[in-house]
Structure 1
């Protein structure tokens, strides 16, 4: 099927790190750079890009192992730095200078890592349903790591879903990308166009121990696995990812945080959190809330951003009602208006 919408240009950018696929809606004004999340690609951002005012230059970059970018191993021990360094290398080749960065889900963590490592590239940040600054799974509200991060990392991938990605499954079977999109990416899938395109985007995900989901180690702690060192899910384990250093960033670019009120992926009760699934009986053997409490992802993000604000940074939070994990798809007018106000366009 045709995956590139009219008005979007595609280019391959060669850097010293990788060959990256970049899609663009040209413009001569401010530069907005959009970074997708896990099991997706730049294709998800096309309607948003086309809906921006004509003067804005909008770029979306496929991360390694996603979309049409080069498939390269992901070093989980570096947190999200492999991805962030790749994005920085693309922006350096393109000569953009400081840009307005938008990061969705895992991409929200990538742009925060850019703030830590390459502040010269950051004019502003927009975090859309971002991963917690403390990573994914296995932490208390203050970021304390529980049981060595048991239940986080590559072992947390759903085998049926991984098999469906690998097989290019376009059906509506229970573990297919289409079903995962309909039940977790958005709240009201029937009201959103281009579903086939979103499925194609998800199917670009490279699978395996070096990509999605990654590897795992065994542990005596419930549920029996702990973080590995390779692949996508291990970039976000609490022993590998800590983005709280943003509170000491100098300067502090303005941050816009948008998230859906009914997000089931990134929330204080995430259905992708093994501890939450254990607490409701979906995963047997849960040892109880004193040992393995669900991760309060939104509470963690708010606490860190409150510290960022207390240190002199400007933070705007927008909770989008009746919306799931993808405000840019589910509430595009709200998202666009908030983004344009944020960047002063």
Structure 2
């Protein structure tokens, strides 16, 4: 595990499992608590540059979620949506006596952050390229209408088996589109983006624990296109719309300020994502697509915006920041802008503990 200057790691026992946590050397114990939650097929390593750059009055930490990085490998109960991860996060913050905190979530970690905020107080919420509040795939319209009762086409069955095999083999090559390095370059960041720490980001991806209990999870047959539905185990199944829905944020009695920051070239979370199998079907990549009425594309960004606008209508506050020529990782692609927006957001909240 390669750490950048000023970043330290330690394992923290909690009531649920032992979690690996990155911290910043020299942070004061009474600093403003800021927690950075990574996304799928990644780990805390991706947050290191952000940790280095955030103001010194913050106490910054970035945990590895279960089954990622150096945290304990434990089964993920997908029937609970993302609650296993959110409960682990709560256990960690309780162990460190850091609750409540400013919680920042990226991609799947944005879903973890939203789930956490539904069940525990937070000082503020920052969502970077988050999963839709209605899950990943299998819904239509800004209201997040479920397409089938079994959420066909979502979950563990949609993972590329070659990509999973290359994670297991710790493949660091770029000789195929399915290698982790190629996937990072083509989907995590915008075209042409370069980083001197690219090897660390790939190392982070390769820390993903694979199998039916972790990534990608299991699947079951379905009579609906494309022939499979999510199982009850593993990471990808946690975001099936039948088990994950955080749109109830709009009804929170105490509404934390929300920052939503995302890129206009995001290949993963968009209104026409090629990670949505209905999009692949419409494009002819997957055969047998039943058409727009039965299998429309999920308007992920529109769903996020609709929920946040309702959040504001119900008395909350949110700020949207859309970055041009930016992919799925604003904190990597435009680090100075990301830190500035996050710092301003935390300042607007007016909360330090």
TM-score normalised by structure 2 residue count: 0.95
Q: Provide Cα deviations, 1:230-285, integer angstroms capped at 9, x if missing partner.
A: 00001000001010111111200000000000001000001100000100011111
SS of 1:102 mapped into structure 2: strand
CA deviation after TM superposition for structure 1 residue 189, in Å = 4.8
Counterpart for residue 143 of structure 1? 144
SS of 1:191 mapped into structure 2: coil
- Mapping of 1:86-105 within 5 angstroms? 86-105=88-107
SS of 1:344 mapped into structure 2: helix
Separation of aligned partners in 1, 2:231 and 2:55: 44
Moved over 4 A (4+): none
CA deviation after TM superposition for structure 1 residue 6, in Å = 1.5
Counterpart for residue 223 of structure 1? 226
CA deviation after TM superposition for structure 1 residue 147, in Å = 2.1
Q: Provide Cα deviations, 1:125-170, integer angstroms capped at 9, x if missing partner.
A: 0000000000010101121111231100110110010000011111
SS of 1:58 mapped into structure 2: strand
Separation of aligned partners in 1, 2:253 and 2:61: 26
Separation of aligned partners in 1, 2:193 and 2:153: 33
Counterpart for residue 4 of structure 2? 5
The equivalent position to 1:276 in structure 2, one of 262, 274, 279, is 279
The equivalent position to 1:339 in structure 2, one of 336, 339, 342, is 342
Q: Provide Cα deviations, 1:70-90, integer angstroms capped at 9, x if missing partner.
A: 000000000000000000000
Separation of aligned partners in 1, 2:303 and 2:120: 24
CA deviation after TM superposition for structure 1 residue 105, in Å = 0.2
Counterpart for residue 132 of structure 1? 132
SS of 2:11 mapped into structure 1: strand
Query: Unmatched 5+ residue regions in structure 2?
Result: 349-353
Separation of aligned partners in 2, 1:289 and 1:186: 29
Separation of aligned partners in 2, 1:97 and 1:170: 38
The equivalent position to 2:120 in structure 1, one of 118, 121, 124, is 118
CA deviation after TM superposition for structure 1 residue 211, in Å = 0.2
Separation of aligned partners in 2, 1:18 and 1:294: 38
| Cα RMSD, aligned residues only | 1.0
The answer to whether the aligner puts 1:245 opposite 2:248 as a matched pair is yes
Counterpart for residue 44 of structure 1? 46
Separation of aligned partners in 1, 2:187 and 2:309: 28
TM-score normalised by structure 1 residue count: 0.97
Counterpart for residue 80 of structure 1? 82
Separation of aligned partners in 1, 2:5 and 2:334: 22
Separation of aligned partners in 1, 2:119 and 2:215: 24
SS of 1:103 mapped into structure 2: strand
- Mapping of 1:1-345 within 5 angstroms? 3-25=2-24, 26-28=26-28, 29-119=31-121, 122-141=122-141, 142-148=143-149, 149-172=151-174, 173-344=176-347
Separation of aligned partners in 2, 1:111 and 1:212: 19
Separation of aligned partners in 2, 1:50 and 1:260: 22
Separation of aligned partners in 1, 2:77 and 2:173: 32
SS of 1:147 mapped into structure 2: coil
Provide the aligned length of Structure 1 versus Structure 2: 342
SS of 1:340 mapped into structure 2: helix
CA deviation after TM superposition for structure 1 residue 193, in Å = 2.4
CA deviation after TM superposition for structure 1 residue 52, in Å = 1.1
SS of 2:145 mapped into structure 1: coil
SS of 1:328 mapped into structure 2: helix
SS of 2:99 mapped into structure 1: coil
Query: Unmatched 5+ residue regions in structure 1?
Result: none
Separation of aligned partners in 2, 1:270 and 1:193: 28
Q: Provide Cα deviations, 1:75-131, integer angstroms capped at 9, x if missing partner.
A: 000000000000000000000121111000000000111111112xx1000000000
> Residues 128 and 41 from structure 1, CA distance in 2 versus in 1: closer, same or farther, beyond 3 angstroms?
same
CA deviation after TM superposition for structure 1 residue 190, in Å = 3.9
